[in-house]
């Protein structure tokens, strides 16, 4: 589907678009793996979101001058330790999360009683090594690498500092939009973290859907898509926000609490159980209820009790 695909010893696919390569992760980039982007200019070489799978390619990669992070979730920073000499850059709001373990814990919203296990996990499975020297890039700026440039788009919602990157090579065939965790999955947008935002995600999706370039790449699952497939998938993906809202409104035909909706499951499936899923569901539904109230689609009939209609 893309320009060239290479099968190397590690059997990981590479999609090549001129000076840009999408380095597919193991299992098609399914979590905990991911798809990274390599951009080679005449002046500089940049690697975006080095995944756990980059380790398998380390011998074949060129010298990396700069590492850009779309955001600092554990799976996106798992290959940072492989490039101790590179400059590491992310959105100013997420700098803490790559500079220190405390910042990483805060970005993920890990409760106090789970911090020891989370810390052990990120060190063991994501090789997390803090980079106190990491710097903030300038959102909405352009990085010129020589014969290729990258536009940094601030697309908050998944996290507050989440960014997408538009890479311009020679012509349209070499233009690639890296969507990071705007995953375009059937699940729909994830805004269950402590600094996630439903409204911001919705606005970011409206924005990225206006982008007209040849290729789109996601960090997980889909890998590389052409514009028509992107248009279709992104419409479905954004539509999941309304699908969830309609489901919640049906559930609120009878007055219910947030906690009742969490236990019923609107975003996740009823079979998805556990404290972690409860927390994500709660964070997402709290925002949906606030949105319904602000749009006069639901009312708080008693403190903590919500009903569809006005
Ligand atoms: Zn993420």
Does a structural domain hold residue 191? yes
Helix (H/G/I), strand (E/B), else coil: 13: strand
Over 34-52, what HEC string results? Answer: CCEEEEECCCCEEEECCCH
- Identify the segments of the chain with pLDDT beneath 70: 1-9
Residues 157 and 232 in one domain: yes
Q: Which pLDDT score, from 0 to 100, does residue 2 have? A: 45
Which of 212, 237, 262 is the endpoint of a domain? Answer: 237
Domain count within the chain:
2
Residues 51 and 127 in one domain: yes
Q: Which pLDDT score, from 0 to 100, does residue 106 have? A: 97
Which of 185, 209, 237 is the endpoint of a domain? Answer: 237
Report the C-alpha gap between 276 and 31 in whole angstroms: 16
Residues in contact with 119: Cβ distance below 8 Å, sequence separation at least 6, in sequence order:
101, 105
Write out the two tokens for 245. Answer: 């809202």
- Beta-bridge partners for 215: 176, 226
b/e 82-118 (16+ beta carbons within 10 angstroms → b): bbeebbbbbbebbbbbbbebebbbebbebeeebeeeb
Residues 61 and 182 in one domain: yes
Q: Which pLDDT score, from 0 to 100, does residue 147 have? A: 97
CB distance 234 to 43 below 8 Å:
no
Q: Which pLDDT score, from 0 to 100, does residue 254 have? A: 97
Does a structural domain hold residue 247? no
Query: Ligand 1 mean position to 139 CA, how many Å?
Result: 18
Q: Which pLDDT score, from 0 to 100, does residue 71 have? A: 98
The CATH number given to whatever domain includes residue 84 is 3.60.15.10
Query: Ligand 1 mean position to 71 CA, how many Å?
Result: 7
Write out the two tokens for 169. Answer: 């090579």
Query: Ligand 1 mean position to 164 CA, how many Å?
Result: 12
Which of 182, 202, 237 is the endpoint of a domain? Answer: 237
Query: Ligand 1 mean position to 181 CA, how many Å?
Result: 5
Does a structural domain hold residue 88? yes
Query: Ligand 1 mean position to 180 CA, how many Å?
Result: 8
Residues in contact with 269: Cβ distance below 8 Å, sequence separation at least 6, in sequence order:
none
The whole domain housing 257 covers 252-308
Helix (H/G/I), strand (E/B), else coil: 272: coil
Query: Ligand 1 mean position to 308 CA, how many Å?
Result: 32
Query: Ligand 1 mean position to 97 CA, how many Å?
Result: 12
Report the C-alpha gap between 308 and 97 in whole angstroms: 39
Q: Which pLDDT score, from 0 to 100, does residue 1 have? A: 42
Report the C-alpha gap between 165 and 187 in whole angstroms: 23
Does a structural domain hold residue 8? yes
CB distance 166 to 215 below 8 Å:
no
Q: Which pLDDT score, from 0 to 100, does residue 9 have? A: 62
Report the C-alpha gap between 159 and 80 in whole angstroms: 19
Does a structural domain hold residue 35? yes
Query: Ligand 1 mean position to 95 CA, how many Å?
Result: 15
Q: Which pLDDT score, from 0 to 100, does residue 219 have? A: 97
Residues 67 and 99 in one domain: yes
Closest by Cα among 129, 148, 150 to 140: 150
Query: Ligand 1 mean position to 301 CA, how many Å?
Result: 36
Report the C-alpha gap between 167 and 53 in whole angstroms: 22
Query: Ligand 1 mean position to 302 CA, how many Å?
Result: 36
Cα-to-chain-centroid distance, residue 174: 23
Q: Which pLDDT score, from 0 to 100, does residue 3 have? A: 47
Q: Which pLDDT score, from 0 to 100, does residue 221 have? A: 81
């Amino acid at each position: 589907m893309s320009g060239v695909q290479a099968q190397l010893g590690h059997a990981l696919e590479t999609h090549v678009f001129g000076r840009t390569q999408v380095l597919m992760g193991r299992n098609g980039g399914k979590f905990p793996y991911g798809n990274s982007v390599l951009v080679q200019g005449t002046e500089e070489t940049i690697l975006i979101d080095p995944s756990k799978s980059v380790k398998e390619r380390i011998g074949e990669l060129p010298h990396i001058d700069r590492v850009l992070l779309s955001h600092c979730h554990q799976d996106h920073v798992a290959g940072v330790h492989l490039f101790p000499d590179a400059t590491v850059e992310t959105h100013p709001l997420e700098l803490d999360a790559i500079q220190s373990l405390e910042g990483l814990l805060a970005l993920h919203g890990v409760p106090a009683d789970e911090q020891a296990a989370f810390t052990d996990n990120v060190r063991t499975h994501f090789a997390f090594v803090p980079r106190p020297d990491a710097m903030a890039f300038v959102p909405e700026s352009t990085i010129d690498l020589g014969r290729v440039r990258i536009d940094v788009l601030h697309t908050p919602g998944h996290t507050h500092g989440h960014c997408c990157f538009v890479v311009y090579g020679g012509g349209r065939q070499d233009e690639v939009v890296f969507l990071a965790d705007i995953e375009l999955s059937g699940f729909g947008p994830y805004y269950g973290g402590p600094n996630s935002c439903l409204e911001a995600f919705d606005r970011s999706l409206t924005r990225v859907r206006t982008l007209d370039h040849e290729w789109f790449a996601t960090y997980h699952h889909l890998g590389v898509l052409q514009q028509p497939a992107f248009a279709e998938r992104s419409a479905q993906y954004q539509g999941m926000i309304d699908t969830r809202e309609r489901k919640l409104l049906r559930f609120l035909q009878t007055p219910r609490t947030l906690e009742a909706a969490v236990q019923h499951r609107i975003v996740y499936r009823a079979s998805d159980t556990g404290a972690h899923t409860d927390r994500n569901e709660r964070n997402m539904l709290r925002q949906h209820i606030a949105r319904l109230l602000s749009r006069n689609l639901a009312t708080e009939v008693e403190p903590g009790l919500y009903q569809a209609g006005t």
